[in-house]
Amino acid sequence: MAEMTYREAIRQALREELAHDERVYLLGEDIAEFGGSFKVTLELLDEFGPRRIRNTPISEMAILGCAVGSASTGLIPVAEIMYSDFFGMAMDQVVNQAAKMRYMFGGKLEIPMTIRAPMGGRRSAAAQHSQCLEAWFMHIPGIKIAMPSNPSDAKGLLKTAIRDPNPTIVFENKMLYNVKGEVPDEPYFVPFGKANIVRSGNDVTVVALSDMVDYALKAAKQLEQEGVSVEIIDPRTLVPLDMDAIVTSVKKTGRLVVAHEANRTGGVGGEIAAQAGHRAFDYLKAPIERVGAADAPIPFAPNLEREILPDDRHVYQAVLRVMDYGG
């Protein structure tokens, strides 16, 4: 096992897949010489050349249109959207083309494209560069979605995505790029649809996405000192979603908190809560709690941003509410 940052783990996955298959290529704004806004693709141009590490115009529609077209004709594109907020400029390419083409061609056509999308706030990047939009795409059949929360999963999920014959979005939380963790030395793949039980517990289940996993762990350590045993589940992928693991945990603990950075209304936490409530209703000892951002644009001011976005305090409070329910 080697220790590396989330950023380095993603770069290693890209390097291995570029070396594995000459059909794989990268495209995006400033990803070549500059290495991307978050320096994930740094040095890859020197190793693989401009034919496979391609800078693009400042046009998300062009980037994803090129990815869809090249994927449908035999290449394996890995496109970077500089900020996931910019998906708005290319929704037709993703929602009406990539997601539907394999189905509309009766399975005869594969669309093996991966979209890397930095997401999230906590950087004072304001309302147009700080959103978490995974719920948009979870609503569209035909798109797979991964949300790695640590370096090991970042590498393994990205490699799985690149080799999948279907369009996949990998949402990378910007605040995780510098986080370090152990990553296996040998090539490996993290399967989609297999949740990770990050922490075992008996009193309450916390399902946490992306950077909220670390916040949930902080809350769990504090709660442990107060006699509350928290089980933390990281779904790792939203499509496919490992509801079996979540339901099994809820049946054990009888309580559920779902935490994500995206705003609460319409977030994927509602879908997870609905499915868990349906399948484990008779086991619930308290109403399900959801933790998410406030329903407001993300402010630029750091103090206001901290008030909008959820963290370990909000997870802690939600756990106390389900533990206190009914006296």
Helix (H) or strand (E) holding 267: none
Q: 2-183: what CATH class? A: alpha beta
Q: What is the pLDDT of residue 325?
A: 87
Domain boundaries, the chain: 2-183, 196-324
Q: Is the pLDDT of residue 196 over 60?
A: yes
Contact 35, 80 (CB under 8 A): no
Q: What is the pLDDT of residue 327?
A: 52
pLDDT digit string, tens, across residues 215-224: 999 999 999 9
- Give percent above pLDDT 70 in the chain: 99
Determine the angle formed by the axes of helices 6-20 and 151-162, rounding to 10 degrees: 30
pLDDT digit string, tens, across residues 170-188: 999 999 999 999 999 998 9
Q: Which residues pair with 73 in a beta bridge?
A: none
- Which pair of structure tokens corresponds to residue 115? 């979209």
Q: What's this model's pTM, rounded to 2 decimal places?
A: 0.97
**Which string of DSSP letters, residue by residue, matches 150-175?**
SHHHHHHHHHHHHTSSS-EEEEEEGG
Q: What is the pLDDT of residue 40?
A: 98
Contact 119, 133 (CB under 8 A): yes
Determine the Cα–Cα distance for residues 116 and 174; give it in Å rounded to an integer: 12
- How many other CB atoms are found less than 10 A from the CB of residue 216? 31
Which are the catalytic amino acids?
A: 60, 129
196-324 matches 2-183 in CATH topology: yes
Average pLDDT of the segment spanning 254-258: 98
Q: Is the pLDDT of residue 326 over 80?
A: no
**Which string of DSSP letters, residue by residue, matches 162-220?**
HTSSS-EEEEEEGGGTT-EEEE-SS---PPTT--EEEE--SSEEEEE-TTHHHHHHHHH
What is the dihedral angle through the alpha carbons of 244, 203, 315, 266, rounded to the nearest 10 degrees? 40
CA 117 remoteness from chain centre: 9
Amino acid at 134: E
pLDDT digit string, tens, across residues 87-98: 999 999 999 999
Give 271-280's long-range contacts (Cβ < 8 A, gap of 24+): 271/138, 272/207, 272/235, 272/241, 272/243, 272/246, 275/243, 275/246, 275/247, 276/243, 276/246, 276/247, 276/250, 279/243, 279/247, 280/247, 280/250, 280/251, 280/256
Helix (H) or strand (E) holding 58: none
What mean pLDDT is reported for the chain?
Answer: 97
Q: 196-324: what CATH class? A: alpha beta
Phi, psi of 17 (to 5 degrees): -75, -35
Amino acid at 281: F
Taking the CA atoms of 29, 32, 38 and 44 in sequence, report the sign of the dihedral they define.
positive
In sequence order, what are the residues at sequence separation of 6 or more whose Cβ sits closer than 8 angstroms to the Cβ of residue 213?
149, 150, 198, 232, 234
Q: Which residue has the tokens 């308290």?
A: 286
